[in-house]
Every structure is written in C-alpha cells, then in structure tokens.
Chain A
Amino acid sequence: QAPASPAGRRAPLGARLRARPRAPLRSAASAPPLYDVVVSGGGMVGSAMAAVLGHDIHFHDKKIALLEAGPRKEYDHMPDSYSNRVSSISPGSATLLSSCGAWDHVCSLRLKPFRRMQVWDACSEAMIVFEKDDLDDMGYIVENDVIMSALTKQLDAVAERVEVFYSSRAVGYTWPLPSHSSDTSPWVQVELADGRRLQTKLLIGADGHNSVVRKEAEIKNIEHQYDQSAVVATLHLFEATDNNVAWQRFLPTGPIALLPLSDTASSLVWSTSHDHASELLAMDEESFVDSINSAFWSNINHSDFIDTAGAMFRSAISLLKPSGTAVRQLPPSVAKVDPESRAMFPLGMGHATEYVQHRVALIGDAAHRVHPLAGQGVNLGFGDIACLAHHLSAAAFNGSDLGSLKHLLKFETERQRHNVSLIAATDVLKRLYSTTLAPLVLLRTWGLQATNALPPVKEQIMAFASK
C-alpha cells in the first residue's frame, strides 16, 4: 500500500523502508532474545560503539549486544615490542574514547603524542608543516592492540548492559516489513553461524570494508581498489631523539610515513605499488632499512626546472609574507627494523551511498574506506560513533523507537557532509601525488607552498581533521 504523500514529505524515505525479507517469522512464543541495539563487528570501531552506548546514561536499562567473529583476546600485559598496526588518533577521537573511560587505560599502557607534522614532496622542495600554535598535541600514535585492550576493559565494566558474543559470526539478517503491516515481527532478525538467533530494534554494521550488513541491506557501495599496498613495520632509530614529529613524504610510487612510537622507535606506513611492496617484504633487513632512509633523504626525483620554479615561488612568498616559508627538516634516520614486523595489505577506497536504513546504520569502514595517507581512517569511524551515539541518546531520552529512520537520517546527513569532502580530498591528493608529470608537480608544489604560507587555511585543515 503506497503511503499517502502530503506535500513536504521527502520521497527517498519511502524508498528506503525495506530490503527484502526472507523466511516468514515465528510466533512470539519461541521468539529469540530481543536487544535494543546489536553491533555487528568487534574491531576498534564496533567495540567503541558498544562501549560508548553502554556508558550512556539514557541507555542505563537497555540491552546491547556486540558480535565479534574472532575469539576474545586477553591483553593482560603489553609485549615489550611494538605491534606493527598503529593508528593516528586525533584529539576528537581521544575525547570520544575518554567519554567511555577508555582513554585513561590507553594512557596508562602506551601512546606517543606528536606535536608537528611535516609533509613534503619527493619531486620538489615544496613542503607543508602543521603544528598547533599553543604547542598542544596534534594527535597521538597508538597501537591498535592498545586501543582494543582499553575498550575490552571498558566493555567488561558495563557487562550487565552490553553482552559481547565472541567467536560469533553473523551469517544472515532478516529485515522487517514496514511497521504498519503489523502481523510479523517488526525487529531485525540476526542469525549466527552456530544457529543461534537474536532480534534487535537497531542493527549497527561495524564489520569493515567488506561489510556483510551493508551487502545484505543492499546498500550500494562506490568502491575502487588502488593499485597500491601498504607496507608496515616497526623501526628502530639510529639515535634517540624527541621524536614528536610525524613525517610523510610523497614519492611518485606513493607516500611513505614515519610515525613516532617512542624516543627510539617509529612505525612505518609505506604505500607503494603491489610489486614494490612484495619486494620490500622479501628483501633482507639491511636493504629494507636502506630503502627507507633513501626514500626520505634522496633527491633523485628532483628536476632543475621544478627546483627553479619552486625557488622562485618561495622567494615571492617570502617577500609578501616573511614568515611564510620554513626550513625543511629531515626525519630521523633508521637503523634497524624489528624482525617479523614487516607486513603488507592492499589499499582501496569505498563509500556507501546510504549510511542508514530502517533499523540499520553503518559506521566505520563499513560506511567509508579511505587511503591511509591522511591518517584519518579510524578517526572517521570514531567521528561516526560520536554523532550516532549523540542522536541515539537523545532518541532514548525521548522514548523514541531506536530504529526509527527519523534520527538515523540526521546522523547520516551530518556524517556524509563531513566524510565525503575528506574522502574526496584524500583521493584527489593520492592521485595528484602519484605522478611525476611536470605540470602537475608544479601545480602541487605551488599549491603546497601557498597553503603552507597561509595559517588560516592550515588551521582549517587541522580543525577539520581533528574532529
């Protein structure tokens, strides 16, 4: 039955109300347990979502379930060596983690604040430096395992509200018919691999860039595999230093980044072609270290033309704005790589056309996947959580049905507005910096130099990225 459409109702609402339901639903007598919220996916973003809701005052009497396909990991004590999977955590994300009590745990385990970020080109002298005026921390480099350990502790603290199902992969979802045909269950049915079933008023998909929730909800995903893989490793520096700067150099094959872990160690994230990545993994440790140092120090990609043009532009800027150019510093040199710490994974971009449907919401990589060059990946996910939790908390305090599209759409609009520009910009930067063609190099050289000379623009960029 087509809903009546008085003027003013948005058309897309009606189109979204369902995805095809499957089996007819059983009677209430044998009904599976009903949860207010089920979060599918127990990674950093899924766990944080469950923890934040579990600590929300308006969810005090609600039932939340977190489904994680893997086993429960015990993080009793951190190994001495650093893990090779790290994330750059923005101040906004740190605020979210502290709202559920997890940031204190992170601080008591280990993390490295950084104050400055230097980004420069391999094909020219152009560079841009980000730092906060008040010399506050710009961000923090934290191992993913540390974040998971902190979140697991905070989930344990609200165990009477949040039930975590480990080793439980969801294999099927059944969507409800629109709520006014009232003979079948209005809830989302979730089927686990071992045959157990759950029902929920709201399903949150936090199951990564190959999200099953997104696929089952038939939400279209715009995706693109980059012809790049990221190589990660834990490196030991030649000599101890303050190490509070994050370094990133754009090579024609892809950006190489050095993220501080401690005064003597840094984490490597090197995005490069698949072939080169395999070579890097296969070569012996000394050659690997040499490649890294040379990637940061060598000027082999410079051309006289670009250097001259760049120098000219820089003089012009220093006439207009004397403080607008800074001296390019060199990153610390690397002495050793942790054995067994080298790994690689393929890169791609993705963006779901819708983040929400009736009783479904996507967060984190399930909704958007981005290149690591901007260090934003997990921060976008934490931003999703902050926004969705805010709207769900208000909905709970209003006695609303948690799965109602009305507040879910507000979350979608806010986040898409924020995410789309950042993802698009990251994609553009990735492509712009993947070439050695002189005109584009010139363009990005001048662009970078000009941006570096304009504090208001840089402040805007930093503010946007640190939300």
Chain B
Amino acid sequence: QLSLFRFTVKRPFSTSHSSVDSKEMKKFQLLAHKWWDEEGEYAALHSMNDIRVPFIRDTLLSMSSNYHPGNPLSGIKILDVGCGGGLLSEPLGRLGASVTGIDPVEDNIRTADRHKSFDPVLAKRIQYKSSSLEEIVEESMETFDVIVASEVVEHVADLETFIKCCSQVLKPEGSLFITTINKTQLSYVLGIVVAEKIMGIVPEGTHEWEKFVPPKELERLLESNGFSVKTVNGMLYNPLSGSWGWMESTSLNYAVHAVKSGARARSYATDGPSETDIQQHSATAGTA
C-alpha cells in the first residue's frame, strides 16, 4: 500500500509534481499499527502473499541459471515501493533477497522496522526508508535488480512519472512487478461496493474507482517508457476461503511482469520508441 504524497510543505530541493497523493497518505496513517494482524484489516493482503510471492519467485528463478538451495533469491536487490508495514518485504527477505522498502507514511516504516527487528536475519536483509519514489531516484540510479509495486499504482497521483522513476532506479533488463485493480464496472461493484461497504474485506475508503488502472493503459505506459511487458495475469479473491487465485480474466485484480530494455539509461521525455523497443514489443505481442 502506498500513498504517494502531494507535498504542501515546502521542501528545499523538490520542484515539480510528485506521484504522491496526500489524501491517500492520511488513509493509511490511521491504520499503521494494524498491518501485522493476520485476521485484521489487512488480512486479504496477507493472504495475497500466497500468490504474489510464488509469482515473483518463480519468474525470477526462471530467468536465472543457478539457484542457491534454501535461499532462492540470494544476491538479488529488490525495491519494494509502497511497502506499508513490510508484508511483502519480509517473505522476499526470507527467500534471500536484499530488500529496500520505501513508503511515505512514517508510521508504516516505524511498524515495519519494529516488526523485522526481532529476526536478526531479516533485520540485516531488509532496509526501510520513509520516502517517496522520486526522493530516492538520484541516489539509486540503476541500482535495483527488481522493483515490486504491489497494490500501489491505484493510489498514485501521476502514474507516468511513477513508471519513469521505476525505470530510472532499475538496472537494464531488471524486472518490474505490479499488482493492481482494473477499472471496470465489475471492479466497482465487487472491489468497492462489496469489498469495502458490504463485506469489509478492505477498509472503507481505501480505494477510489477513478484511480483504478486498466491493464491496457498500464501496458501502454510501460511500453512507451522503456519496458517490455512479459506477463499479465488476472487474480481473484475468494472471500469465503480468504484466499487468492489466478484467473484468465483481468476484469478485477491483475498482476504484471515487465522487463526494462537492455539499452543504457536514455532520456525518456522526447524520443519515440527505439528499434529495440519495437522488436521487443512485437516479440511479446500475443503473450499477455
């Protein structure tokens, strides 16, 4: 969960718009201490680990040639954007990755830090920072092998800026994993009316349908900013069993895996897609 903040306070070095939305931040501040109650407000996020962790793990394992038993993600640097209380950072850390988790809500970072502190292995592997994505771009150019932005982009103020920043901090050929919610009639009925107002699966007011992102839109933004979309998979939550599963249709929740093109960092503002991008795009057309 990320609430990216539109700063009203003047900061000495920030200039243009950022992707953080202040209203969104306030929502998450109130629930900062509820992250680790597996039966509480964030129960659906806890159980989402059962599909998103294997998805990330298996995709990364299939792209690498060697695999360390017991530590399959060892040596991989992951950025967890909008890490919240660390629900996804911790399993990735347990699998051996070096994880940097960022979230603009300080209370979230405090909760995350405290929760990892009891496990010396995790305490070393995971670093949390209260920050927005833009704020770390300068010091983290092409630093990460993987970026994970799970249940974040539907809270972001400016999606294209967000994606550009992801590209800047990601190494060439690095992976970007996104999970988010589609903008459909169905997602309004099930995702907002039922999930928030009727069944209380998600705390009320968490989501705004206007900010949901259709997969085609996300793909377009990714492809035009140096990414090649490899996988798009629909996800479905079963409220009776409290568990998630994969499904064909992306009309509700979906997950995306995209890979940053192998060329060195370029300026994104002006150029159209390069030849490499066109080739990659046509190679992957029909996989989604």
Contacts and interface: CB of A to CB of B under 8 A. Distances in A.
B120 A34 contact: yes
Contacts of B120: 34
Interface residues on B, range: 35 or more
A57 B37 CA distance: 30
A83 B285 CA distance: 70
A60 B69 contact: yes
B37 A9 contact: no
A400 B91 contact: yes
B230 interface: no
B35 A180 contact: yes
Which of B33, B35, B37, B94 has the most C-beta atoms of chain A within 10 angstroms of its own C-beta? B94
Interface in A1-34: 3-9, 13-14, 28, 34
Contacts of B47: 406
Contacts of B36: 179-180, 182
A61 interface: yes
Interface in A36-60: 57-60
A60 B34 CA distance: 33
Contacts of A6: 43, 199-201, 239
B242 interface: yes
B33 A180 contact: yes
Interface in B78-98: 90-96
A31 to B, nearest CB: 8
B177 to A, nearest CB: 14
A404 interface: yes
B276 interface: no
A398 interface: yes
Q: How large is the interface on A (under 10, 10 to 19, 20 to 34, 35 or more residues)?
A: 20 to 34
Contact of A4 (B41, B69, B242): B41
A7 B195 CA distance: 10
B38 A404 contact: yes
B26 interface: no
Contacts of B92: 399
Contacts of B30: none
Contacts of A3: 37, 39-40
B71 interface: yes
A187 B118 contact: yes
A420 B120 CA distance: 40
Interface string B240-254: 111000000000000
B71 A61 contact: yes
Interface of B: 33-41, 43, 47, 49-50, 53-54, 57, 68-72, 90-96, 111, 114-115, 117-120, 199-201, 239-242
Interface of A: 3-9, 13-14, 28, 34, 57-62, 178-180, 182-183, 185-187, 396-401, 404-406
Given A6-B201, A399-B91, 14 more contacts: A4-B39, A6-B200, A7-B199, A8-B239, A61-B71, A179-B37, A182-B114, A186-B118, A187-B118, A396-B94, A398-B57, A399-B53, A399-B95, A400-B94
8 contacts: A3-B40, A4-B40, A9-B39, A9-B43, A60-B70, A180-B37, A399-B49, A400-B49
